[in-house]
Structure 1
Amino acid sequence: MKKLGLTLLTAIALVPTLAHASCDSVKAEIQQKIIQNGVAESAFSLDVVPNDQADQLGGLVVGHCENDQQKIVYKRNGDDNSGTATQSVSP
């Protein structure tokens, strides 16, 4: 659980520097940081969704792109209890 928290904090720290980057590059950067922190690639998913749909996925908003028009949502695979709360990340 501590690794997950550290991973999410690292991902969140990247967001301000990538605020105007393309969604694919932002998602790839966040994904690599999470993997580098020891989380298996198969243990989570990152989804790029429009702002108005971010809350409906039940994950944690860990980034944004396209001038804050899209959100990147982190969701743990196989864990129904995780990520039920969302957190917005400001640039």
Structure 2
Amino acid sequence: MRRRIPHSEANMASHTATIRWHGSRELAEVLLAAISPDDPGTFEARLEACAGEDDEVVLVIETASDSVGSVRATLDDLLSCLAAAESAVLAIDEE
């Protein structure tokens, strides 16, 4: 699943940020699903395969805005969602 920043917004944006998370495809798909409903249109997310790693991927999340405050707010929201989802999955796995 991929979320796209509208082309016109990306070209006008003067502030960008990228989050990269490396891990199993299974957990990456859960994390991607957790952030998909959050702030539609404010970020792009994708999974990239790791060379030489069968089940390992990189979750790449990119955001851009003309306001550094907007980028920070988006990052805060995304990181909160990612942390909650990862904690929940790890807690379930421990049981």
User: How would you bin the TM-score normalised by the shorter chain?
Assistant: 0.3 to 0.5
Q: Normalization by structure 2: what TM-score?
A: 0.34
With normalisation by structure 1, the TM-score equals 0.35
- Where is the strand percentage greater, Structure 1 or Structure 2? 2
Higher relative contact order (CA 8 A, sep 6+): 2
